[in-house]
Amino acid sequence: MKEDLIKRLRLFLFNEKHQTLVGKPASQREIIEAQQQLHVQFHSDYVAFIETFGGAYAGIAIHAFSNGSSLGNETVVDLTLDFRQQYKEFLSPNVLETSYVISMDGGGNPIFIDPSGHVFICDHDCGEIKRIADSFELLIEDCFYEW
């Protein structure tokens, strides 16, 4: 991720007013175990984010292993396993088995990253998927505004 974006996120998230929006940084062990359990390789920008902020708010809630208290307790593993179970009738096994869910939108739609690093949203009513960003970094750049 671009250093400027990380700096902006640090200034925002490490502000005393926003302590419920930032989690505990992810450890290498947590990352490796999650990747093994899910049979995926996390994109390097997602790893950089969760190693710095844990599960944190960056315009949208980004889930990891220890999330900010305002984000809820669901981990990336929990969200991904639930996604795979709920959408097995709608989506191809290739999509389900190679992607991981990093967030949910306000309508209950999972936001996930595929092996190429593209970010998608899946409509929970019909299973239709739509690319919303070409990368995790671009997703954060599009969503994150300091307030």
- Give dist(CA 81, CA 89) in Å, integer: 14
Q: Which domain holds residue 13?
A: 3-143
Residue in 14, 112, 99, 97 with CA at minimum distance from that of residue 63: 112
Is the entire prediction scored with pTM above 0.85? yes
Neighbours of 5 (CB within 10 A): 16
**pLDDT tens digits in sequence order for the chain, 147 residues long:** 899 999 999 999 999 999 999 999 999 999 999 999 999 999 999 999 999 999 999 999 999 999 999 999 999 999 999 999 998 888 888 899 999 999 999 899 999 999 999 999 999 888 789 999 999 999 999 999 886
CATH code, 60: 3.40.1580.10
Helix H segments across 18-108? 28-38, 44-53, 76-86, 93-98
Neighbours of 97 (CB within 10 A): 12
Number of domains in the chain: 1
